[in-house]
Amino acid sequence: MDYLVIEGYKTAAEEFSKEAGLEAPVDFDSIENRMNIREALQRGDVGDAITRMNDLNPEILDTNPSLYFRLQQQKLIEFIRQGKVTEALHFAQEELAPRGEESPEFLAELERTMALLAFESSPLMPSSVSELLSPAQRMKTAAEVNAAILESLSQGKEAKLVGLLRLLCWGEAMLEEKADLPKLDLNDGTFGERGSR
């Protein structure tokens, strides 16, 4: 249930709750609100995502300047992606430059984002800059927003199942140093001989 709620599978969480006879751990509408925000970010509509976040809980962005900067950075990236250079320059100057002066971390990120304009579609563009235009950047921003919303709702930022798998892998690595034990093969869910992955 925890995994379904955190990852935003509203319908599956509702059905699981009914079939297992569990009381709903959260308001299922909050899941839908989070997923609408995530989808807006994944399609590059940062303005819609910010509006929806403020409708859900205006304090999230007020109390988290780093997240607000990330959203503004994503908005700048979207201007650049659409070829709106004038708007991008104006937006960077008005919205992001003052924040960059406040924090060296923000300034470095702003400089990296502005490098997109300098390199445009050059094959010489460093991968650390070109990755800002990848769909993975949108997903990263959406994940940060999702975690902030979950935290504001006093829920965990990460599904417990993910943490358990990390713990399993860590424990397995510790045991591997001490003894020659069979390992869990996550590809087919069986235990196999060491080195049979």
Q: What is the pLDDT of residues 146-164, one digit of tens each?
A: 889 888 877 766 777 777 8
pLDDT tens per residue across span 68-114: 999 999 999 999 988 898 999 999 988 888 887 888 888 888 888 88
184 phi and psi angles, rounded to 5 deg: -75, 125
Same domain, 82 and 173: no
**Token couple for 190:** 């069986």
Task: Give 26's DSSP letter.
Answer: S
Please spell the DSSP secondary structure of 116-163, one letter per residue: HHHHTT-TT--HHHHGGGSHHHHHHHHHHHHHHHHHHTT--SS-HHHH
Q: Report whether 183 contacts 172 (CB < 8 A).
A: yes
Query: What is the residue range of 15's domain?
Result: 2-152
Same domain, 61 and 84: yes
Whole-structure pTM value: 0.71
| In a domain? residue 197 | no
| In a domain? residue 36 | yes
